[in-house]
Structure 1
Amino acid sequence: MRPELIHLHHNDPVLNRRDDANMTAESRNHPINLTRRGPTLALIFAASSLVIAGCAEKSPEHQEGTANQGVEITGEWVEVETTQAEIHAWFPGSVIASQQAPVASRLSGYVRELAVDEGDTVREGDLLLVIDPANLESQIQQAEANLSKARSAFNNARSEYERFKSLFEKDAIPKRQFEQVRLGLEAASGDLAAAEAAVAQARSETDYSRIEAPYDGVVTERHVEPGQLANPGQPLLMLQGSQAREIRVEVDDSAFAALPTGTSTQVNYRDAEAVDRDFTAEVITAISAADPVSRTHTVKLAVPESVEINPGQFVSVRVTLDTRGSIVVPNDAIHQRAGIEGVFVLDDQNRARFRVVRFGRESDGESPVLSGIVVGDRVITNTDGRLANGVTVRGGQGS
């Protein structure tokens, strides 16, 4: 088949490919004949357009929007605007007992009896353990022997004093000799008092062989076994009080400045049933000296008695750092599609369109918007039917 010819003028900027210097006058006055390739390119372009259009029509969002055309539901929306929102930071903390101390012995001896174990709850005055007082018994016997000796010496000194006193009154002995006897009686009296005190001290030590709970609490650690030697000052048990509880949290400089003593802040935790809960705690201690390694400050908060939370439990402490303008949306307006969070906004025809949005951490029923919507967008907050792309929403602006 003979190719079709197309006539284009020579001075067409696309087809004029010859050097003007080599062109003859005849060629300047006559059209140029070229093989027509336009239809082939046009066919390729048309086929590509059909493929792209077909793919677009088959996208889930397009199909959903097309399928929902004509569907109407009633709902409410809010127009996005900038509001003054608090900027928060969250810091991990832990619950500790206000009363927590190691239990140690004042005596040196073997552990004869251990009455508690880790996890046991005790009351004030309950027996914790007993130290074998065998060493104390020998000390008491020695102290009592010294007391008997001192008492005999005192009796002799007193008898001598009475005899020499009678002689001195009769001028039978010089005064100097009498004074020596009197001083001997005073020394014997002092030795007797010291011996009596030593016996009392030795006997009182036996009271320390029985170690009792100083307050109500829970035994959290045990560092000794029956028959083991216990030395004075050695921690044997760790006892946590079961009454007042505190939260210990480490914060940076900016958060520390926002947590002076006496202020209150929100604390979040998860209860035994894995339910997220929160309460308000008051700052009771704020240590201004920063840790030289972590560069953080220690802050302690009081846990209300009504809150059921145990020492050792993990919590999150919210600190308000600043207040600035930002966009927030109610949590009821947030939807998930295929695991992606976003909101439905209204277009100019009041049709719903899903918009992917990146949120910050929610607070007080609202979530700050980091990206995805702008001021002026209309976010759907409540409807009486299922929201989907292309659905027409009738109603009005909610509060």
Structure 2
Amino acid sequence: MLGNMNTIARNSKMFPFAELLLSLALCLPFSGCHEAKSSHQISPVVRTMRITLDQGGENRSYSGVIVARHEVQESFRVGGRIEKRGVDVGDTVHEGQVLATLDEKDLRLAMESARAERDAARSNKEQTITDERRYATLLSKNVVSQSEYDLKHLAADEARARMERADRSLKLALSQLDYARLVSSTDGVVTKVSAEAGQVVPQGQSVVTVARKGALEVLVDIPERRLQDIRKTQADMSLWSNRDVRYPAVLRETSPAADPATRTYAVRYSLPHVDASVKLGMTATIHLSGDSAIRTARIPASALLGRGSGVGVWIVDPDTGHLTFRPVTVDHYTQRDAFVQGQLADGDVIVTSGVQKLDEGLSVRLAGAPREDVR
């Protein structure tokens, strides 16, 4: 081939482009070598960390509020316009104390109407009974017929029934008039006021909420995935105003349904031993602690790579730099890290950043390692 090129060079005057063709031909082998050299990619440098699996105590905290174990929503048994409300939030009330009153005008008119109806029914009853007795005497003397007496007897029975109905209507009207006064059914503290003077409220609407004196509890919201764990953990409570003091807490009640907005469950912890410093409405923290049988590793959240079947991490062989994708399960997250479990071992080296740019079987170089260590 070189001989042919030399011939072309000697005849360059005859072939104007011979010299150009010679130059291209001589450059082709060198360019091929250059491409072969560039096809050997340099292993990318990745940041890594060596993981440690931990099996031991697990601590969690949830914010809540101090509430009474029993709360009563006091409401009127009749509807009407509130004329006066005598208590405010935070007031201490006693059983039988008047909390609010309704305008009695309409209820009093209804009571007077029922009383008038009762009086009319009494007069009618007395008249029909007198007629019945008179016709009974006349029947015994064969002055009137049996059918005439029967009509008077039926009229007397109807009058008696009307009198009984009118009497019960009057008692109901008197009770409704008495219901215009909302009284407390227990000793306690007012925790909520739901209506004001001048407002028209229907029957049964809560007007005042009274927390019954007695046991206090902590109301907290627990995520769905942690609902099963709370029964296996010990709990204690601390106040936001005094975080150094802990009070024992006992799980008492778990809501059977999740909140539709937050998808959390309302959980109540009773406080069997508290002092006077713990008051209704205070912000509290429930601390849960227990032994976990699952070994987890704390890794940066940036080390997780999501795939269609779940998440995982890239495991790096420190000697060869080869990558292997290992699926994991996230136990829970913190602000920046994640606690994961899966087919992991103590001392595994994982990639902590840029995981979405890596592929299975790719060789990488650890940050800080010499370039010739990884091939």
TM-score category by the smaller chain?
A: 0.5 to 0.7
8 Å CA contact 2:68, 2:215 repeated in 1: yes
Q: What is the CA–CA distance in structure 1 between the aligned matches of 2:215 and 2:201, rounded to whole Å?
A: 31
Equivalent residue number for residue 137 of structure 1? 108
8 Å CA contact 1:271, 1:277 repeated in 2: no
Equivalent residue number for residue 302 of structure 1? 270
Match status 1:103 vs 2:74: yes
Equivalent residue number for residue 285 of structure 1? 253
Q: Residue 215 of structure 1: which of 172, 186, 192 is its match?
A: 186
Q: What is the CA–CA distance in structure 2 between the aligned matches of 1:288 and 1:110, rounded to whole Å?
A: 37
Q: What is the CA–CA distance in structure 2 between the aligned matches of 1:226 and 1:311, rounded to whole Å?
A: 26
TM-score (norm 2): 0.58
Question: 1:121 offset after TM fit, Å?
Answer: 1.3
- Name the aligned partner's letter for residue 297 of structure 1: Y
Match status 1:149 vs 2:114: no
Equivalent residue number for residue 14 of structure 1? none
8 Å CA contact 1:287, 1:298 repeated in 2: yes
Match status 1:265 vs 2:234: yes
Match status 1:238 vs 2:209: yes
The answer for unaligned runs of 5 or more in structure 1 is 1-81, 327-360, 362-373, 375-399
222-231 or 185-194: which moved more? 222-231
Match status 1:315 vs 2:284: yes
Match status 1:188 vs 2:159: yes
The answer for unaligned runs of 5 or more in structure 2 is 1-52, 297-333, 335-345, 347-375
Equivalent residue number for residue 145 of structure 2? 174
- Name the aligned partner's letter for residue 205 of structure 1: Q
- Distance change in 2, residues 1:242/1:286 (3 Å): same
8 Å CA contact 1:104, 1:236 repeated in 2: yes
1:188 alignment partner, SS class: helix
Q: What is the CA–CA distance in structure 1 between the aligned matches of 2:54 and 2:265, rounded to whole Å?
A: 32
- Name the aligned partner's letter for residue 181 of structure 1: K
Q: What is the CA–CA distance in structure 1 between the aligned matches of 2:171 and 2:133, rounded to whole Å?
A: 30
Question: 1:184 offset after TM fit, Å?
Answer: 0.9
- Distance change in 2, residues 1:165/1:305 (3 Å): farther
8 Å CA contact 2:233, 2:290 repeated in 1: no
Q: Residue 251 of structure 1: which of 202, 222, 228 is its match?
A: 222
Question: 1:255 offset after TM fit, Å?
Answer: 2.8
- Distance change in 2, residues 1:202/1:243 (3 Å): same
Q: What is the CA–CA distance in structure 2 between the aligned matches of 1:254 and 1:221, rounded to whole Å?
A: 32
Q: What is the CA–CA distance in structure 2 between the aligned matches of 1:192 and 1:213, rounded to whole Å?
A: 35
- Name the aligned partner's letter for residue 137 of structure 2: S
- Over the matched positions of the two proteins, sequence identity in percent amounts to 23
Q: What is the CA–CA distance in structure 2 between the aligned matches of 1:285 and 1:301, rounded to whole Å?
A: 7
- Distance change in 2, residues 1:322/1:259 (3 Å): same
Equivalent residue number for residue 116 of structure 1? 87
TM-score (norm 1): 0.55
Question: 1:230 offset after TM fit, Å?
Answer: 4.0
CA RMSD of aligned residues (A): 3.2
- Name the aligned partner's letter for residue 252 of structure 2: I
